[in-house]
């Protein structure tokens, strides 16, 4: 029953947005769906598109960030974090975009290298790396290196 309701509400939001041209009512319907089921790529992309039409990308990014915290699967976390980073980048929030892109890269460090969208390089130049990002060498590390 819940699956049918979710599919019905998704279709209703899509019809209201695409056919009726009413993104506000579509946003009301789709936001709770995305908060509960952010793993659905098509639903998430529709939500981002509706948020873009309304100019509420920051709200969408925050909603997806909350959903990201509840997601366990690495591949899904990676896709959601990428969408969050892209939303922050569009809004000009470079610091938050950078941390979201770092989340994408940290999800599975052993996975294949993925290409990031244009503009990421400018983020790394605009925001210097903080000292907390770098691993400090402890005295034991320095001593063990000196023995070698």
Kindly report, residue by residue over 80-121, the tens digit of the pLDDT: 999 999 999 999 999 999 988 888 887 655 455 444 554 444
pTM over 0.75: no
Give the C-alpha separation, 71 to 137, whole Å: 33
């Amino acid at each position: 029953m819940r699956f049918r309701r979710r599919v019905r509400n998704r279709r209703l939001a899509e019809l209201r947005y695409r056919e009726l041209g009413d993104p506000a009512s579509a946003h009301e319907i789709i936001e709770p769906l995305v908060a509960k089921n952010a793993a659905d790529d098509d639903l998430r992309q529709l939500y981002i598109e509706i948020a873009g039409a309304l100019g509420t990308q920051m709200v969408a990014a925050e909603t997806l960030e909350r959903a990201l915290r509840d997601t366990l699967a690495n591949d899904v976390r990676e896709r959601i974090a990428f969408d969050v980073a892209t939303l922050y980048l569009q809004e000009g929030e470079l610091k938050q975009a950078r941390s979201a892109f770092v989340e994408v890269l940290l999800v599975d460090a052993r996975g294949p290298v993925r290409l990031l969208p244009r503009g990421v390089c400018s983020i790394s130049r605009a925001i210097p790396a903080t000292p907390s990002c770098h691993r400090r060498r402890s005295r034991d590390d320095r001593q063990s290196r000196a023995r070698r």
